[in-house]
Amino acid sequence: MGISDDDKLQIYTMVAAVLHLGNIEFEDDPEDTRGGCRVKQSGGNSLSISSSLLGIDASELKQALTSRVMQSSRGGAKGTVIMVPLKVYEAVNARDALAKAIYSKLFDYIVNRINQSIPFQASSYYIGVLDIAGFEFFTVNSFEQFCINYCNEKLQQFFNEAILKFEQDIYKREGLNVPEISYAD
């Protein structure tokens, strides 16, 4: 594929950063009068490792994961910038969103490199890669979950048609007396 050792190291570094981001945990900050959260002591090591792997300052990553910026229209043309502390569940969502964004960019990069290494003009063959989570059920499903489940349903439908229906058609053409398999389509 033509990926250099330096590029491979960067890929592994980003994977490690995503994994360490997932180990960062949050707790309510009893010293914050506005109901914010802080990184748990147990997650501090993962915070410093992931920030180092990402090439950013640990305090900046911590601030990005535990607060958001709000800008008011009062106080001039640009307004006043206010740092709003996040609750634990909001910080978890921010952490997960960052990890997903990094992973998504990394995945796109790898797929692009694979596509560049395959001479599509000279070949009708290709490799398709589909990266989706499995079937999941939550109390409240998001649009993302809908898309994942829809994709899984389409894959199952394709499998049914490609394997079951195709095989049954072969049996009929060859005159084999095989009972027909009923499947929901």
For 118-173, how does the pLDDT look when each residue is reduced to its tens digit (9 = 90+)? 776 666 666 666 666 665 667 777 777 777 778 888 888 887 777 777 888 888 88
Q: What is the mean pLDDT of the chain?
A: 83
Domains of the chain (ranges; CATH) run 5-92 (1.20.120.720)
Query: Taking every pair of C-alpha atoms in the chain, what is the biggest distance, in angstroms?
Result: 84
- Residue 97 scores a pLDDT above 80: yes
What token pair was written down for 131?
Answer: 């990266």
For 42-53, how does the pLDDT look when each residue is reduced to its tens digit (9 = 90+)? 867 999 999 999
- pLDDT score recorded for residue 95: 94
- pLDDT score recorded for residue 177: 82
- pLDDT score recorded for residue 132: 63
Cα(151)–Cα(133) distance, integer angstroms: 10
